């Protein structure tokens, strides 16, 4: 049996030892001897491991498998050989040469820690943060909340393209009076925490928002597309429902708390942005759908109390349904609002039980409201 | 003084590293991100093993498993901490709210609502130190471990204070920040039983700022020309903007120059205190080489990605067309072609990201590392042989916090 030369590092000091390496095939071991070595090193072939993903193609760095507490279950000593024949023979003789040994129990640890991390994340996002947001939303002084709401509507205006604040405000004497009468009729006899401040914005979007502190914004497009004053009344009642439940404030608190938690879990890996976007959409939808359902219930009660026919609400939802088009069912989980069809059915069911209703606004007032942006 | 000198060598090649980066990126996408811990580990093994001194390569001994576990533990801590702190900070932002009358007040309020980022800042520096400690604990040369002391919180508050001081001094105290933080880290770094020591003075870094000062002067001149130019003076207006653009480009080059030249200064004043003498270092990287590599490599990477992308887009388009033809008009179900198209698009998008990530690594990052390594020399290497092994460090969170907060970098 011939020998080849190599370099040996004993794992004790940073000194380099020149050694001769001999293969003892019968004993199944490599023998290392050298002038600077105290003892002959005998490395059993079945425990030999080679470093992987190595940049040097002409040499092989060897070490020994051992039950250490180390990260890699290997002894600290290293042997470097460059002899082509020996490298080839070792690759043939040692089946475990490129094995990546793992500490016993690693898989159990992975499963346990994954469950723990997923559980903690779910607990925070689904239970603790919503509860904290609910409690804190009640603690904010009303005047601060109104100031916050005004800044939200101001930002919304800027986002809709107002070059300076107030550019998009719709206001004229008759229109304002009609709107006031409508709000007064809805809120009459109700014990409300907030005085609703309704603002109509000149924009074609068919939508309305409830910002914190009673700030309600309605788009011109919604009034243009409404089948009658009852539809506008229903939307207003719905938004007042959000206001009373402090939904906007709670959502802002919740969003601030869970910001970045999902993207943290997914990391910045290739394609991760898509997964994070879908996840956040799903999460937000689950929050808001519940709030929408409760605001609907609030709106129906308000309409009943003020004697406004909820058929207008049903018509409005049917119209929304048409505008949305026929999306596949799965999209409901991603949508922030419950399905319009079921909301329309609920409003129609309620209308059947209503005994005495009168128009929400008289013809003249309704015409004035429709012309508020004119 | 003893004897012996070692020059740094780098043997890594483009082909194998690109293959490694591309496959690990694809595996990462396929496993919804989980493989990234193993991917980073494998790329590090390659790069570490490419660096050598005196023919002895460095070794990276970290494992993907420990990185993944560290990340999961960090997730638990961060989810609880960040969730609660962010909500409370936002709440206090809200309670400070008053009616905004001017645009400036409005802007101030938007800032107040984004106060939540304060919750992350101390953690980012903490994570950076911990990541450095983990990487050192998993680095070996001649079989002997590197290591760093546990001092992440001390680093975190110092880094925040220095950052604040630099900001308040309009950048004039940047050398103080760079030097003090580098010294804090170096003085807690070990190779075996030998400790590193950062010598020199923070004022020694001012020459490295030369280009930044020039850029500052040009920017100030540009601003002055713009300010004194009247409404009608087109020539002055053009001159002012021209100066600002030149100043900006100069500033960017100045930043690279500062990093390169401060590395030079710090390395030349670094000492490794062995039992049998001091080991000293020198590094002389060239700003020009680094900038040329960044520009030329970045351009080459974009062009190559562009060509490959167009080819793949053609093939995808063909697949889409063939699918449409096979299904046919009559048997056409709404959604099938869309599904095929969407899948092809997602695949294309992920492939493109993996490709350009790999190209940047191979054409920009690796050449810069290679250049810096090749300019490093180590003197009095006779003292190295007597350095003894140090105990293994569990590596705390295996840089899990850095991975969760995304401060780790590409590898």
Compute the distance between CA of residue A366 and CA of residue A174 in angstroms, rounded to an integer. Answer: 10
Partner residue opposite B90 with nearest CB, options A117, A125, A256: A256
Mean pLDDT across chain B, nearest whole number? 88
Euclidean distance between CA atoms A54 and A61, whole angstroms: 9
Task: Assess if residue B231 is contained within a domain.
Answer: no
Please give the average per-residue pLDDT across B146-155, as a whole number. 95
Partners of residue A9 in chain B, C-beta under 8 Å: 56, 142-144
Q: Quick one: pLDDT at residue A275?
A: 65
Highest mean pLDDT among A99-103, A152-156, B163-167: B163-167
- DSSP letter string over B87-150? HHHHHHHHHT-----SHHHHHHHHHHHGGGGGGTHHHHHHHHHHHHHHHHHTEEETTEEEEE-S
Residue A334 banded pLDDT, cuts 50, 70, 90: low
Position A270 pLDDT exceeds 70: no
Chain A stretch 22-61, residues whose beta carbon is closer than 8 A to a beta carbon of chain B = 51-56, 61
* Ranges A94-103, A257-266, B117-126: which has the least confidence: A257-266
The pLDDT of residue A149 is: 86
Report the pLDDT averaged over residues B314-340. 66
Any idea what DSSP says for residue A95? T
Does residue B211 sit within a domain? no
Give the B window 326-345 contacts with A, CB below 8 Å.
335
Residue B255: CB atoms within 10 A of its CB come to 13
**Residue A158 pLDDT level (bands cut at 50, 70, 90):** confident
Query: ipTM of this predicted complex?
Result: 0.84
**Percent above pLDDT 90 for chain A:** 38
Percent of chain B with pLDDT over 70: 90
3-state secondary structure of B379: strand
Cβ neighbours of B403 in A, within 8 Å: 267
B3 CB within 8 Å of a chain A CB: no
- Residue-wise pLDDT for A36-54, tens only, equals 988 899 999 999 999 988 8
- The pLDDT tens digits of the residues spanning B316-328 come to 777 777 776 776 5
Residue B337 lies in a domain: no
**Which chain B residue shows the shortest CA-CA distance from A113?**
B72
The per-residue pLDDT for A156 is 82
In a domain, B104, yes or no: yes
Q: Residues A202-253: pLDDT tens digits?
A: 988 888 888 888 899 999 988 988 888 999 999 999 999 999 988 888 888 8
Flag whether B166 is in a domain: yes
pLDDT in tens, B223-233: 988 888 766 67
Q: How many CB pairs (< 8 A) connect A and B? A: 233
Mind listing the domains of chain A with CATH numbers?
Answer: 3-93 (2.30.29.240), 136-370 (no CATH)
Q: Report the pLDDT averaged over residues A273-302.
A: 78
Q: Chain A contact for B405, CB < 8 A?
A: yes
Mean pLDDT, to the nearest integer, of B5-17?
94
Residue B209 has pLDDT above 80, yes or no: yes
Q: For testing the chain A interface, which of B94, B103, B369 should be mutated: the one with the most A CBs within 10 Å?
A: B94
Q: What is the pLDDT of residues A67-96, one digit of tens each?
A: 887 788 899 999 999 999 999 999 998 888
User: For the residues B379-392, what does the mean pLDDT come to?
Assistant: 91
Structure tokens given for A41: 């090193």
The Cα A77–Cα A9 span in angstroms is 5
- pLDDT of A329 > 50? The answer is no
> Does a structural domain hold residue B153?
yes
**Res. A262 pLDDT band, cuts 50 70 90:** confident
CA dist., res. B257 & res. B208, Å (int): 7
User: Could A256 and B87 be called an inter-chain contact, meaning their C-beta atoms sit closer than 8 Å?
Assistant: yes
Within 8 A of A54 by CB-CB distance, chain B residues are 45-46, 49, 57
pLDDT tens profile A347-365: 999 999 988 888 888 999 9
Question: Long-range contacts of range A322-328, CB-CB < 8 Å, 24 or more positions apart?
Answer: A323/A206, A328/B335
Count of domains observed in chain B? 1
Q: What is the pLDDT of residues B301-311, one digit of tens each?
A: 999 988 888 88
Interchain pair A265, B75: CB under 8 A = yes
Verify whether the Cβ–Cβ distance A54 to B143 is below 8 Å: no
Using alpha carbons, list the distances in angstroms from residue B362 to B20, B209, B256, B365. 10, 29, 20, 6
Euclidean distance between CA atoms A43 and B327, whole angstroms: 63
B contact residues 210-239, partner A, Cβ 8 Å cutoff: none
Q: Determine the 3-state secondary structure of A79 from DSSP.
A: strand
Range of the domain at B397: 61-192+391-411
Q: Would you say residue B86 lies in a domain?
A: yes
- The answer for A 134-163 residues in CB contact with B (under 8 A) is 136, 139-141, 144-148, 150-151, 154-155
Chain A residues close to B84, C-beta within 8 Å: 128, 132, 257
User: Is B325 buried (19+), middle (13-18) or exposed (0-12) by CB count in 10 A?
Assistant: exposed
User: Is A65 in a helix, a strand, or coil?
Assistant: strand
B75 and A121 within 8 Å at the Cβ level: the answer is yes
> Within an 8 Å CB–CB cutoff, is residue B279 touching chain A?
no
d(CA A330, CA B218): 58
- Region A176-205: mean pLDDT is 90
Testing the interface with B: which of A37, A53, A128, A274 to mutate, by most B Cβ within 10 A? A53
Rounded Cα gap, residues B327 and B316, in angstroms: 17
| Token digits of residue B130 | 């911990």
Distances (CA, A) of A351 to A222, A308, A343, A360, B97: 22, 9, 12, 14, 42
Read off the pLDDT of residues B63-116 as tens digits, 9 standing for 90 and up. Answer: 999 999 999 999 999 888 888 888 888 888 777 776 666 666 667 766 766 677
Give Cβ neighbours of residue B86 (< 8 Å, ≥ 6 apart). Answer: A256, A257, A258, A259, B116, B119
The confidence band for A254, taking pLDDT boundaries of 50, 70 and 90, is confident
Q: Which residue of A has its CA nearest to B403?
A: A267
In 3D, which of B130, B93, B46 has the Cα closest to residue B365?
Answer: B46
Is residue A116 within 8 angstroms of chain B, CB to CB?
A: yes
Q: Inform me whether the pLDDT recorded for B332 exceeds 50.
A: no
Note whether B75 contacts A: Cβ–Cβ < 8 A: yes
User: pLDDT higher for A160 or A339?
Assistant: A160
Residue B330 in this model has a pLDDT that exceeds 50: no
* B280 contact partners, CB below 8 Å, separation of at least 6: B270, B271, B272, B378, B379, B380
Residues 6 or more apart in contact with residue B300 via CB below 8 angstroms: B359, B363
How far is the C-alpha of B3 from the C-alpha of A365, rounded, in Å?
99
Q: Within a domain: residue B14?
A: no
Q: Do residues B269 and B364 make contact, with C-beta atoms less than 8 angstroms apart?
A: no
261-280 in chain A: CB under 8 A from chain B: 261, 264-272, 274-275
| CA gap A353, A309 in Å, rounded | 10
Of A304, A166, A300, A312, residue with least CA distance to A225: A312
């Amino acid at each position: 049996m011939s020998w080849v030369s190599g370099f040996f590092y004993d794992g004790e000091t940073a000194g380099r030892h020149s050694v001769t390496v001999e293969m003892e095939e019968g004993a199944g071991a490599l023998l290392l001897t050298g002038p600077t070595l105290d003892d002959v090193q005998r490395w059993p072939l079945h425990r030999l491991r080679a470093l992987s993903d190595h940049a040097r193609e002409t040499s092989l760095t060897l070490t020994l498998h051992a039950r250490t507490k180390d990260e890699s279950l290997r002894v600290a000593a290293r042997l470097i050989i460059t002899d082509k024949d020996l490298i080839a023979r070792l690759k043939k003789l040692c089946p475990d040469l490129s094995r990546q040994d793992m500490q016993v129990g690693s898989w159990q640890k992975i499963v346990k820690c994954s469950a723990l991390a997923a559980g903690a994340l779910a607990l925070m996002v689904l239970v603790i943060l919503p509860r904290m947001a609910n409690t804190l939303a009640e603690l904010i002084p009303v005047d601060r909340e109104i100031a916050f709401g005004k800044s939200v509507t101001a930002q919304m205006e800027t986002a809709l393209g107002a070059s300076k604040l107030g550019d998009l405000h719709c206001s004229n004497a008759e229109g304002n009076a009609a709107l006031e009468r409508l709000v007064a009729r809805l809120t009459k006899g109700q014990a409300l925490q907030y005085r609703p401040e309704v603002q109509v914005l000149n924009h074609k979007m068919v939508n309305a928002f409830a910002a914190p502190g009673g700030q309600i914004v309605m788009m011109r497009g919604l009034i243009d597309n409404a089948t009658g004053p009852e539809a506008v009344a229903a939307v207003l009642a719905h938004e007042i429902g959000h206001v009373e439940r402090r939904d906007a404030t709670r959502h802002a608190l919740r969003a601030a708390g869970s910001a970045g938690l999902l993207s943290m879990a997914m990391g910045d890996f290739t394609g991760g942005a898509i997964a994070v976007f879908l996840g956040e959409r799903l999460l937000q939808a689950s929050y808001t759908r519940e709030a929408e359902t409760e605001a609907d219930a609030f709106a129906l009660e308000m309409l009943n109390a003020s004697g406004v026919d909820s058929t207008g609400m049903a018509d409005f939802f049917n119209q929304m349904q048409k505008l949305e088009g026929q999306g596949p069912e799965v999209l409901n989980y991603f949508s922030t609002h419950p399905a319009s069809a079921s909301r329309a059915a609920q409003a129609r069911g309620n209308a059947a039980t209503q005994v005495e209703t009168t128009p929400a606004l008289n013809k003249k007032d309704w015409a004035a409201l429709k012309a508020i942006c004119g | 003084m003893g004897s012996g000198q070692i020059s740094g060598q780098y043997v890594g090649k483009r082909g194998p590293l690109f293959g490694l980066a591309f496959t690990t990126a694809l595996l990462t996408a396929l496993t919804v991100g989980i493989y990234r811990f193993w991917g980073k580990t494998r790329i590090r093994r390659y790069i570490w093993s490419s660096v050598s001194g005196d023919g002895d390569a460095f070794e990276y001994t970290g494992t993907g498993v420990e990185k993944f576990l560290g990340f999961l533990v960090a997730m638990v801590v961060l989810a609880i901490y960040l969730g609660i702190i962010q909500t409370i900070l936002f709440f206090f932002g809200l309670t400070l709210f008053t009616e905004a009358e001017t645009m400036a007040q409005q802007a101030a309020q938007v800032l107040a609502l984004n106060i939540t980022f304060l919750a992350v800042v101390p953690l980012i520096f903490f994570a950076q130190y911990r990541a450095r400690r983990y990487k050192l604990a998993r680095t070996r040369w001649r079989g002997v471990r590197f290591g760093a002391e546990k001092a992440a919180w001390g680093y975190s508050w110092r880094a925040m204070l220095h950052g604040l001081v630099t900001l308040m001094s309009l950048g004039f105290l940047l050398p103080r920040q760079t030097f003090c933080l580098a010294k804090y880290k170096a003085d807690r770094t070990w190779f075996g039983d030998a400790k590193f020591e950062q010598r020199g003075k923070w004022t020694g870094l001012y020459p490295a700022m030369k280009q930044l000062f020039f850029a500052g002067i040009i920017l100030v001149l540009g601003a002055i020309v713009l300010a004194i130019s009247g409404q009608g003076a087109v020539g002055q207006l053009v001159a002012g903007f021209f100066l600002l653009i030149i100043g900006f480009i100069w500033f960017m080059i100045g930043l690279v120059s500062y990093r390169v030249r401060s590395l030079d200064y710090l390395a030349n004043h670094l000492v490794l205190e062995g039992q049998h003498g001091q080991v000293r270092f020198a590094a002389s990287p060239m700003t020009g080489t680094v900038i040329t590599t960044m520009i030329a490599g970045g351009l080459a990477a974009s062009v190559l990605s562009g060509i490959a992308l167009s080819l793949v887009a053609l093939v995808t388009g063909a697949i889409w067309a063939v699918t449409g033809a096979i299904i046919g008009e009559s048997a056409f179900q709404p959604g099938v072609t869309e599904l095929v198209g969407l899948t092809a698009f997602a695949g294309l998008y992920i492939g493109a990201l993996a490709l350009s990530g790999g190209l940047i690594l191979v054409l920009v990052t690796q050449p810069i590392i290679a250049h810096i390594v090749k300019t490093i020399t180590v003197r009095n290497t006779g003292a190295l042989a007597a350095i003894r092994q140090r105990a293994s460090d569990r590596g705390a969170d295996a840089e899990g916090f850095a991975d969760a907060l995304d401060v780790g970098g590409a590898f």
